[in-house]
Amino acid sequence: MNKMEIPKELIEKLKSAKSILFFTGAGISAESGIDTFRGKGGLWNKMSAQELASFDGFMKNPNLVWEWYQYRRKNVRETEPNAGHKTIAEFEKYFNDVTVVTQNVDNLHKRAGSTNILELHGNIERNFCLDCKTFYDVEKFIEAHEVPKCEKCGGMIRPDVVWFGEMLPQGVFAEAERKAIESDVCFIVGTSAVVYPAAYIPISAKEAGATLVEINIEPTNISHQVDFSIIGKSGEVLPQIFEMLEL
């Protein structure tokens, strides 16, 4: 990709931005080797979502769902943040107000060094007890091939991720909306923007006057609403934008 494809107006906009929000999805982690859900090679093409990522599915077949998450955790542990995650973390060093609102559960933004992260769909590297809500770090049950029992109450342990049909974590979504409304520039990176209510975040930003910038390898549902649509891999486009800022 050549440098000319990144609009100068975008760079000017960023230079004067006080508050920047990155709304990210599975695509930002694709270059780290983590499968996306939709699109080519997407996980949902291979397995049934309702079977694996819903509370009913878990209750029907807890050990199968647990094993699937253990498999995905292993996959996540073996990967590293890529240039996209790292560039977003760099922004924090040069701008006062940078927030990452992510739909990902892979913890890669944190591992890349971002500190201001709102996880809309939870974090695969955490578990909690269905009954007493005690949280457990992923290390605790790392070797378990079946659903573990809570040490305090004997309840079933589940991954701390938001399943289909479940509510988003209380407070996190509200905070994300607040930051969206405050933002001057809102990046939409590697997300098909079809999962609600998460997809309201960039819409709220736009309604409040933010400049929307989409980075994706293909056009999405939201492309026609953005100010700048940049087609390319986030691990290549984000570093280029950052370089053009000459910070």
Q: Tell me the catalytic residues.
A: 121
Max Cα–Cα distance, the chain, nearest Å: 60
The binder of 155, among Zn ion, ligand NAD, none, by C-beta within 5 to 8 A per type, is Zn ion
The binder of 121, among ligand NAD, Zn ion, none, by C-beta within 5 to 8 A per type, is ligand NAD
Nearest to 100 by CA among 118, 86, 73, 85: 118
Q: What are phi and psi of 175, to 5 degrees?
A: -65, -40
Instruction: Using CB under 6 A, pick the residue from 234, 238, 241, 242 that binds ligand NAD.
Output: 234
Query: Considering the rule CB under 6 A, would residue 37 count as an interface residue with ligand NAD?
Result: yes
Residue recorded with tokens 């988003």 = 168
Query: Considering the rule CB under 5 A, would residue 232 count as an interface residue with Zn ion?
Result: no
Query: Considering the rule CB under 5 A, would residue 129 count as an interface residue with Zn ion?
Result: yes
The Cα 16–Cα 172 span in angstroms is 27
Choices 17-25, 130-138, 139-147, 183-191; region in contact with Zn ion by CB under 5 A: 130-138
Query: Considering the rule CB under 6 A, would residue 57 count as an interface residue with ligand NAD?
Result: no
> For residues 169-228, which are near ligand NAD according to CB under 6 A?
190-192, 195, 215-218, 220
Q: What are phi and psi of 240, to 5 degrees?
A: -65, -45
The Cα 57–Cα 40 span in angstroms is 25
For the CB of residue 96, give the shortest distance to ligand NAD in the complex, in Å: 26
Nearest to 76 by CA among 100, 51, 44, 43: 43
By beta-carbon proximity to Zn ion, the closer residue of 47 and 132 is 132
Query: Considering the rule CB under 6 A, would residue 231 count as an interface residue with ligand NAD?
Result: no
Instruction: Using CB under 6 A, pick the residue from 14, 20, 26, 88 that binds ligand NAD.
Output: 26
Query: Considering the rule CB under 5 A, would residue 124 count as an interface residue with Zn ion?
Result: no
Residue type, 148: P
Residue 139 class from Cβ within 10 Å (0-12 exposed, 13-18 middle, 19+ buried)? exposed
Contacting residues toward Zn ion, per CB under 5 A: 129, 131-132, 134, 150, 152-153, 155
